[in-house]
Amino acid sequence: MGCSYRLDTKNVNKEIKDMDNKKLKIIIGKGSCGIAAGANKTEAVLRALLPNVEIALAGCIGRCYLEPIVDVFAYDGKKSEKLTFVKVCEKGAEEIAKFVTGAPNNASAYLISDADKATLESLQCIALKNCGIINPEKIDEYTASDGYKALTSCLKEKTPEEVIAEVKASGLAGRGGAGFPTYFKWDAARKNAGDKKYVICNADEGDPGAFMDRAILEGDPHAVLEGMAIAAYAVGASEGVIYVRAEYPLAIKRLEIAIAQAREKGFLGKNILGTGFSFDIRIKEGAGAFVCGEETALIASLEGERGMPRLKPPFPAQKGFMGKPTNINNVETYANVPFILRSGGEVFAAFGTENSKGTKVFALTGKIKNGGLVEIPMGSTVGEVIYGVGGGIKDDKAFKAVQMGGPSGGCIPASLIDTPIDYKSLAATGAIMGSGGMVVMDETTCMVDMARFFLDFTCKESCGKCTHCRIGTKRMLEILQRITKGEGKEGDIEALEELGKLIKEGALCALGQTAPNPVLTTIKYFRNEYEDHINLKRCTAKSCKPLIAYRIDPEICKNCGLCKRACPFGAISGEIKKQPFTIDPKICDACGKCASVCKFKAVNVGDKWS
């Protein structure tokens, strides 16, 4: 749409100048990432300079590295043209304002590149269908995009059993991490008798490096509400709760608006659409505990307790919130439900592979060029995501590994880059699908340090109920801390492996059972790095500070003294223009400041103990 215009900005100027200003519409991406990148300032400039143009907001379209994103729509009554501008700072907003009013401008500098545009168009979105497209604070835009049609047809034309059969046909599995068949949970909650039943949405997205649920809640909250209402009808629940992280204030605000609007329009509340079915939803803010992503811990937290997991069985479908049958699914799972009921389970199942149906949203971060959210059909390979949508590794360094599934997952090394992303294939590598975090690592990332980082996280987040998890993760962390300091000793790797095995066996919930995964997979694929740290006191990636040293090459040093001025520790000595500078290893903290300021690349990083 409008591609041909982009090469000729003058032409667009004329085109838009000819139009009445009222026919223009500007949409600003205002998800958390867009706002963090400065979307509020961009909006303020546009509003001040273009008081007569309709300026609306949308959620995150997933291309975080391009934020703030501004779409300019121009319609002449028949067709609409869209121009997408990216990285629109305040200056960019001024240029766009000039462009819109027909003044000479430099707006073309902010137009989206052909490559980025092609990537955006290549994504097959189900869960993110409306994100970044519709205004999440207006229910009319959701209904205009087929919203609440699925709920209406379920309530009026389908029995609860038929709804569950459709979900079964779709093959939808839990998107929060475990990948349990959704229909099975619904069916169990339906069949268990109870005077009251609950439907809970798990929005306690806590994996560091994962933010797809936040994007859905911010960009398309009604899809989640509709999915929950359909689930409630299927299982026979009358009350719904969304357990959402307090760290997501914007998501909470948009959910509150969406719930109020849905009640007003009769999609929530008593006697929905005159069918006699009643269901309402409330929001519960989590208080910051990773373990509450585990369903029984989440239920404990909802009941006002410490968020500690409970023994299963009984499963929540039997005895959940307040002891009643409860269905609990993740945000992305619910967001897929309206599509499935609208288009049919087979249409959803046509995406993906034999054992993993549909699409999945991933949060692509780390050492990647184009970080952001990507929704891809199951079965795409790791390499396709990283080098396709992701655009490759930052600064064109070598790809080393990708961490899938956050602290519960494992790493997949470069040698397994052709692994298809489906539940089975990922599990075979030792990683998991998880909630969809993909953290890309390059040659400068130390795998031992990465394992230490994740274990530090799970150790802090362990609720303390099971001894193996509480104390075992602590002991593993201590060993890893020693290794990264160069104090590792023989037998450490074996001790880590044994502790890992014991924790997996001895923990009650998924947090403990999966906590050793990052360590075990890095040992499996990068054992040589562990051995180098322990035996040679050497960090292959030159990242563990106690094991590296900076040295100035006297042959290359031009005696300029820039490094000496930059050194925060006063570790560098020498005389400007007279003699090469040197670093005192006793004072040096290995911060790397000298290397970053040297214009002649005279500062090298090497092994401290060689």
Partner 1 sequence: MCNECGCNNKVTPFPLLDATLAKYTDATGLITVLQKAQEAYGYLSGELMVYIARKMGLPPAKVYGVATFYAQFRLKPVGKHLILLCQGTACHVNGSEAIEEAICAELGIKEGETTPDGLFTLTSVACLGCCSLSPVMMIGGETFGTLTPDKARAILKNIKTSG
Judged by the rule CB under 8 A, the positions of this chain that interact with partner 1 are 32-33, 35-37, 64-65, 67, 206-211, 214, 246-248, 284-290, 301-307, 322, 363, 365-367, 371-372, 403, 406, 437, 439, 441, 445, 450, 453-454, 457, 463, 568, 591, 593
Instruction: Select 62 or 338, whichever has its Cβ closest to partner 1.
Output: 62
Give the bridge partners for 282, in sequence order. Answer: 241
Minimum separation from the CB atom of position 405 to partner 1 (A): 11
Which helix or strand (DSSP H or E) is residue 455 part of?
helix 447-461
Give the CA distances from residue 363 to residues 404, 503, 572, in Å, rounded to whole numbers and listed in that order: 10, 28, 42
Q: What one-character-per-residue DSSP string does 385-437 give?
A: IIIIIT-SBGGG--EEEEEESGGGSEEEEGGGTT-B-SHHHHHHHT---TTSE
- What does the alpha-carbon distance between residue 107 and residue 477 come to, in Å, rounded to a whole number? 52
Instruction: Select 185 or 542, whichever has its Cβ closest to partner 1.
Output: 542
Range 30-46 burial, b when 16+ CB lie within 10 A, else e = bbbbbbebbbeebbebb
Minimum separation from the CB atom of position 42 to partner 1 (A): 14
**Number of Cβ within a 10 Å radius of residue 286:** 23
Minimum separation from the CB atom of position 246 to partner 1 (A): 6
Comparing C-alpha atoms, which of 12, 37, 45, 121 is closest to residue 87?
37
Based on its alpha-carbon atoms, the radius of gyration of the chain, rounded to whole angstroms, reads 27
Minimum separation from the CB atom of position 247 to partner 1 (A): 7
Instruction: Select 372 or 488, whichever has its Cβ closest to partner 1.
Output: 372
Give the CA distances from residue 585 to residues 54, 372, 569, in Å, rounded to whole numbers and listed in that order: 61, 40, 11
* Cα 364 from chain centroid (whole Å): 7
Minimum separation from the CB atom of position 83 to partner 1 (A): 22
In degrees rounded to 5, what are phi and psi of residue 257? -60, -45
Reply yes or no: is the peptide bond before residue 546 cis, omega within 30 of 0.
Answer: no
Minimum separation from the CB atom of position 346 to partner 1 (A): 35
- What does the alpha-carbon distance between residue 59 and residue 40 come to, in Å, rounded to a whole number? 13
Minimum separation from the CB atom of position 111 to partner 1 (A): 20
Minimum separation from the CB atom of position 11 to partner 1 (A): 33
- What does the alpha-carbon distance between residue 174 and residue 335 come to, in Å, rounded to a whole number? 11
Instruction: Select 338 or 406, whichever has its Cβ closest to partner 1.
Output: 406
Structure tokens at 498: 């044994």
Minimum separation from the CB atom of position 160 to partner 1 (A): 28
Coil, helix or strand at residue 440: strand
Structure tokens at 57: 């907001």
Give the CA distances from residue 486 to residues 489, 521, 556, in Å, rounded to whole numbers and listed in that order: 9, 21, 30
- What does the alpha-carbon distance between residue 200 and residue 196 come to, in Å, rounded to a whole number? 13
Minimum separation from the CB atom of position 440 to partner 1 (A): 8
Report yes or no: 245 and 282 within 8 Å, Cβ to Cβ: no
- What does the alpha-carbon distance between residue 277 and residue 283 come to, in Å, rounded to a whole number? 21
Minimum separation from the CB atom of position 214 to partner 1 (A): 5
Give the bridge partners for 160, in sequence order. Answer: none
Torsion angle in degrees (nearest 10) through CA of 549, 553, 558, 564: 20
Minimum separation from the CB atom of position 434 to partner 1 (A): 12
Reply yes or no: is the peptide bond before residue 314 cis, omega within 30 of 0.
Answer: yes
